[in-house]
Amino acid sequence: MPPLYRPRSSRCVGLGYGGPVPDFDPLAMVKRFQERADAVKKRGMPPVEGPERERFIEQARVDFSDFAMIGDAQASLEDGILTFRVDLRPKP
Domain range for 77 is 24-85
Angle between helix 26-42 and 50-71 (nearest 10): 150
Q: How far apart are the first and last CA of the chain?
A: 44
| pLDDT confidence bin for 5, thresholds 50/70/90 | very low
- Domain assignment present for residue 3? The answer is no
Is there a contact between 90 and 55 (Cβ–Cβ < 8 Å)?
A: no
Is 35 part of any domain? yes
Domain count, the chain: 1
The predicted-structure confidence for 13-35, as pLDDT tens digits, reads as follows 444 555 555 677 888 989 999 99
pLDDT given at position 35: 94
Q: SS3 breakdown of the chain: % helix, strand, coil, rounded to 5?
A: 45, 10, 45
Q: How far is CA 17 from CA 7, 10, 12, 14, in A?
A: 7, 10, 6, 7
67 domain residue, yes or no: yes
Task: Tell whether 6 is covered by a domain.
Answer: no
